[in-house]
Structure 1
Amino acid sequence: MPSLTFSSQHLPGVTVIAVAGTIDTTTAHLLDDYIRRTCHHGDHIVLDLSEVPYMRGSALHVLLQTHLATQRDGAALHLASLQPGPARLLRVTEVEGMLNVHQGVEQAIRAALQAARPSPVGGPVS
Protein backbone atom coordinates (compact mmCIF):
# COMPACT_ATOMS: atom_id res chain seq x y z
CA MET A 1 0.00 0.00 0.00
CA PRO A 2 1.50 3.36 -1.01
CA SER A 3 1.94 5.86 1.75
CA LEU A 4 3.39 9.20 2.62
CA THR A 5 5.17 10.23 5.76
CA PHE A 6 5.01 13.66 7.29
CA SER A 7 6.66 15.69 9.99
CA SER A 8 5.89 19.24 10.99
CA GLN A 9 7.29 22.16 12.87
CA HIS A 10 5.46 25.29 14.02
CA LEU A 11 7.20 28.66 13.95
CA PRO A 12 5.60 32.06 14.63
CA GLY A 13 3.00 32.38 11.87
CA VAL A 14 4.50 29.54 9.82
CA THR A 15 3.93 25.79 9.66
CA VAL A 16 6.70 23.74 8.02
CA ILE A 17 5.70 20.31 6.74
CA ALA A 18 8.24 17.79 5.42
CA VAL A 19 6.72 15.24 3.06
CA ALA A 20 8.32 11.96 1.97
CA GLY A 21 7.00 9.57 -0.64
CA THR A 22 5.11 9.57 -3.91
CA ILE A 23 2.03 11.77 -4.20
CA ASP A 24 -0.45 10.28 -6.61
CA THR A 25 -4.16 9.51 -6.83
CA THR A 26 -3.94 7.03 -3.95
CA THR A 27 -2.01 9.31 -1.57
CA ALA A 28 -2.94 12.93 -2.40
CA HIS A 29 -5.80 12.85 0.10
CA LEU A 30 -3.28 12.00 2.85
CA LEU A 31 -1.36 15.20 2.11
CA ASP A 32 -4.57 17.23 2.07
CA ASP A 33 -5.74 15.71 5.38
CA TYR A 34 -2.36 16.29 7.04
CA ILE A 35 -2.22 19.93 5.96
CA ARG A 36 -5.76 20.55 7.23
CA ARG A 37 -5.06 18.88 10.60
CA THR A 38 -1.63 20.38 11.18
CA CYS A 39 -1.76 24.01 10.05
CA HIS A 40 -3.11 26.83 12.13
CA HIS A 41 -5.62 29.17 10.52
CA GLY A 42 -3.75 32.08 8.93
CA ASP A 43 -0.33 30.41 9.00
CA HIS A 44 1.98 30.54 6.03
CA ILE A 45 2.76 26.97 4.96
CA VAL A 46 6.15 25.69 3.85
CA LEU A 47 6.11 22.27 2.18
CA ASP A 48 9.52 20.61 2.11
CA LEU A 49 9.24 18.33 -0.93
CA SER A 50 12.88 17.22 -1.00
CA GLU A 51 11.83 13.60 -0.37
CA VAL A 52 9.04 13.56 -2.98
CA PRO A 53 10.48 12.07 -6.18
CA TYR A 54 7.17 11.91 -8.04
CA MET A 55 3.77 13.53 -7.99
CA ARG A 56 0.74 13.41 -10.26
CA GLY A 57 -2.01 15.86 -11.10
CA SER A 58 -3.90 14.90 -7.95
CA ALA A 59 -1.01 16.33 -5.93
CA LEU A 60 -1.16 19.48 -8.01
CA HIS A 61 -4.84 19.78 -7.13
CA VAL A 62 -4.01 19.64 -3.40
CA LEU A 63 -1.25 22.24 -3.82
CA LEU A 64 -3.54 24.62 -5.70
CA GLN A 65 -6.37 24.20 -3.19
CA THR A 66 -3.92 24.86 -0.35
CA HIS A 67 -2.54 27.88 -2.20
CA LEU A 68 -6.03 29.35 -2.57
CA ALA A 69 -6.97 28.59 1.05
CA THR A 70 -3.83 30.25 2.43
CA GLN A 71 -4.42 33.29 0.22
CA ARG A 72 -7.98 33.61 1.54
CA ASP A 73 -6.49 33.60 5.05
CA GLY A 74 -3.97 36.33 4.15
CA ALA A 75 -1.03 33.92 4.06
CA ALA A 76 0.84 31.94 1.40
CA LEU A 77 2.01 28.48 0.44
CA HIS A 78 5.76 28.03 -0.10
CA LEU A 79 7.16 24.96 -1.87
CA ALA A 80 10.77 24.02 -1.20
CA SER A 81 13.41 21.69 -2.62
CA LEU A 82 11.46 20.17 -5.49
CA GLN A 83 13.04 17.16 -7.15
CA PRO A 84 13.15 17.13 -10.99
CA GLY A 85 9.88 15.20 -11.49
CA PRO A 86 7.64 17.44 -9.38
CA ALA A 87 9.42 20.56 -10.71
CA ARG A 88 8.69 19.41 -14.25
CA LEU A 89 5.01 18.87 -13.42
CA LEU A 90 4.73 22.45 -12.17
CA ARG A 91 6.55 23.72 -15.25
CA VAL A 92 4.57 21.82 -17.91
CA THR A 93 1.24 22.68 -16.30
CA GLU A 94 2.34 26.33 -16.15
CA VAL A 95 1.54 26.48 -12.44
CA GLU A 96 5.11 27.20 -11.37
CA GLY A 97 4.67 30.97 -11.73
CA MET A 98 1.54 30.99 -9.56
CA LEU A 99 3.21 29.36 -6.57
CA ASN A 100 6.05 30.43 -4.31
CA VAL A 101 8.77 27.96 -5.27
CA HIS A 102 12.11 28.06 -3.44
CA GLN A 103 15.30 26.11 -4.13
CA GLY A 104 15.88 25.29 -0.49
CA VAL A 105 13.89 24.83 2.69
CA GLU A 106 15.83 27.56 4.50
CA GLN A 107 14.94 30.08 1.75
CA ALA A 108 11.28 29.11 1.95
CA ILE A 109 11.20 29.41 5.74
CA ARG A 110 12.90 32.82 5.62
CA ALA A 111 10.41 34.07 3.02
CA ALA A 112 7.45 32.73 5.01
CA LEU A 113 8.71 34.20 8.29
CA GLN A 114 9.30 37.55 6.58
CA ALA A 115 5.77 37.51 5.17
CA ALA A 116 4.29 36.43 8.53
CA ARG A 117 5.96 39.30 10.39
CA PRO A 118 3.37 42.00 11.00
CA SER A 119 4.18 45.34 9.46
CA PRO A 120 4.27 48.35 11.77
CA VAL A 121 1.02 50.27 12.07
CA GLY A 122 1.24 53.43 10.00
CA GLY A 123 4.20 52.17 7.94
CA PRO A 124 7.91 52.17 8.61
CA VAL A 125 9.37 54.54 11.18
CA SER A 126 11.95 56.96 9.83
Structure 2
Amino acid sequence: MPTLSIAVEHEDGTVVVRPRGEVDYDSALVLTGAVEEVEGEWHGVVVDLSQVPFMDSAGLHALIALERRCREQGSRLTVIGIQEQPTRLLDLVSLGGFFTTTA
Protein backbone atom coordinates (compact mmCIF):
# COMPACT_ATOMS: atom_id res chain seq x y z
CA MET A 1 0.00 0.00 0.00
CA PRO A 2 1.41 3.43 -0.94
CA THR A 3 2.68 5.52 1.93
CA LEU A 4 2.26 8.79 0.08
CA SER A 5 -0.32 11.44 0.75
CA ILE A 6 -0.92 14.40 -1.49
CA ALA A 7 -2.45 17.80 -0.83
CA VAL A 8 -3.58 19.78 -3.87
CA GLU A 9 -4.26 23.49 -3.63
CA HIS A 10 -5.23 26.13 -6.17
CA GLU A 11 -3.44 29.47 -6.01
CA ASP A 12 -4.14 32.11 -8.69
CA GLY A 13 -4.53 29.67 -11.60
CA THR A 14 -1.66 27.51 -10.42
CA VAL A 15 -2.09 24.06 -8.95
CA VAL A 16 0.24 23.40 -6.03
CA VAL A 17 0.85 19.70 -5.40
CA ARG A 18 2.37 18.77 -2.06
CA PRO A 19 3.26 15.09 -1.79
CA ARG A 20 4.26 13.81 1.65
CA GLY A 21 6.22 10.58 1.91
CA GLU A 22 8.29 8.50 -0.47
CA VAL A 23 7.60 8.68 -4.20
CA ASP A 24 8.53 5.22 -5.44
CA TYR A 25 7.27 2.36 -7.57
CA ASP A 26 4.35 1.71 -5.23
CA SER A 27 3.25 5.34 -4.88
CA ALA A 28 4.17 7.17 -8.09
CA LEU A 29 0.71 6.59 -9.54
CA VAL A 30 -0.77 8.41 -6.54
CA LEU A 31 1.19 11.52 -7.58
CA THR A 32 0.19 11.15 -11.23
CA GLY A 33 -3.45 10.58 -10.32
CA ALA A 34 -3.62 13.65 -8.09
CA VAL A 35 -2.50 15.86 -10.94
CA GLU A 36 -4.77 14.18 -13.49
CA GLU A 37 -7.78 14.94 -11.28
CA VAL A 38 -7.21 18.67 -11.73
CA GLU A 39 -6.08 18.53 -15.35
CA GLY A 40 -7.43 21.40 -17.38
CA GLU A 41 -7.99 23.64 -14.36
CA TRP A 42 -4.53 25.18 -14.25
CA HIS A 43 -2.12 27.46 -16.02
CA GLY A 44 0.90 26.20 -14.12
CA VAL A 45 1.83 23.44 -11.72
CA VAL A 46 4.12 23.65 -8.71
CA VAL A 47 5.26 20.39 -7.13
CA ASP A 48 6.56 20.96 -3.61
CA LEU A 49 8.94 18.10 -2.74
CA SER A 50 9.94 19.47 0.66
CA GLN A 51 8.20 16.53 2.38
CA VAL A 52 9.62 13.87 0.01
CA PRO A 53 12.80 12.40 1.48
CA PHE A 54 13.08 9.64 -1.15
CA MET A 55 12.23 9.29 -4.82
CA ASP A 56 13.11 6.44 -7.17
CA SER A 57 12.96 6.20 -10.96
CA ALA A 58 9.16 5.72 -10.93
CA GLY A 59 8.78 9.04 -9.12
CA LEU A 60 11.13 10.66 -11.58
CA HIS A 61 9.09 9.22 -14.44
CA ALA A 62 5.92 10.72 -12.92
CA LEU A 63 7.57 14.17 -12.79
CA ILE A 64 8.82 13.88 -16.37
CA ALA A 65 5.33 12.88 -17.57
CA LEU A 66 3.85 15.83 -15.68
CA GLU A 67 6.36 18.24 -17.19
CA ARG A 68 5.58 16.92 -20.66
CA ARG A 69 1.83 17.30 -20.08
CA CYS A 70 2.33 20.86 -18.83
CA ARG A 71 4.38 21.74 -21.89
CA GLU A 72 1.74 20.26 -24.23
CA GLN A 73 -0.91 22.46 -22.58
CA GLY A 74 1.25 25.55 -22.78
CA SER A 75 1.81 25.73 -19.04
CA ARG A 76 4.84 25.34 -16.85
CA LEU A 77 5.97 22.92 -14.16
CA THR A 78 8.07 24.22 -11.29
CA VAL A 79 9.57 21.90 -8.70
CA ILE A 80 10.35 23.39 -5.31
CA GLY A 81 11.78 22.16 -2.02
CA ILE A 82 13.81 19.30 -3.45
CA GLN A 83 15.57 17.38 -0.71
CA GLU A 84 19.03 15.85 -0.94
CA GLN A 85 18.23 12.32 -2.20
CA PRO A 86 15.86 13.39 -5.01
CA THR A 87 18.43 16.01 -6.04
CA ARG A 88 21.11 13.32 -6.24
CA LEU A 89 18.79 11.18 -8.37
CA LEU A 90 18.20 14.04 -10.80
CA ASP A 91 21.93 14.71 -11.01
CA LEU A 92 22.71 11.00 -11.43
CA VAL A 93 20.55 10.74 -14.52
CA SER A 94 21.66 14.15 -15.84
CA LEU A 95 18.25 15.76 -15.35
CA GLY A 96 19.36 18.33 -12.80
CA GLY A 97 18.45 21.16 -15.17
CA PHE A 98 15.42 19.51 -16.80
CA PHE A 99 12.86 20.99 -14.40
CA THR A 100 12.40 24.61 -13.44
CA THR A 101 13.36 24.58 -9.79
CA THR A 102 13.36 27.07 -6.97
CA ALA A 103 14.53 26.88 -3.40
Aligned counterparts of 2:101 and 2:29: Cα–Cα separation in 1:
22
1:112 aligned partner: none
Structure 2 distance, partners of 1:30, 1:86, is 17
The percent of aligned pairs where both chains have the same amino acid is 27
Shift of 1:92: 1.0
- Give the paired residue count: 103
Structure 2 Cα separation of the partners of residues 49 and 18 of structure 1: 7
Shift of 1:49: 0.5
Report the TM-score, using the length of structure 1 for normalisation. 0.77
**Considering only aligned residues, what root-mean-square deviation do their CA atoms show, in Å?**
1.3
> Is the radius of gyration larger for structure 1 or structure 2?
1
Q: TM-score, normalised by structure 2?
A: 0.93
SS for the counterpart of 1:97 is coil
Alpha-carbon shift at residue 98 of structure 1 (Å): 1.4
- Look up the match of 2:94: 94
Q: Runs of 5+ in structure 1 lacking a partner? A: 104-126
Structure 1 position 41, deviation (Å): 4.5
Deviation of 1:3 after TM superposition, in Å, equals: 1.7
Runs (4+) off by over 4 Å: none
Secondary structure of the residue aligned to 1:36 is helix
Equivalent residue letter for 1:8: V
Give the secondary structure class of the aligned counterpart of 2:97: helix
Question: Which residue matches 2:77?
Answer: 77
**Post-superposition shift, 1:42?**
4.8
Worse overlay, 55-64 or 40-49: 40-49
Contact 2:67–2:77 (CA under 8 A) maintained in structure 1: yes
Partner residue, 1:66: 66
2:92 and 2:100 mapped to 1: Cα distance? 16
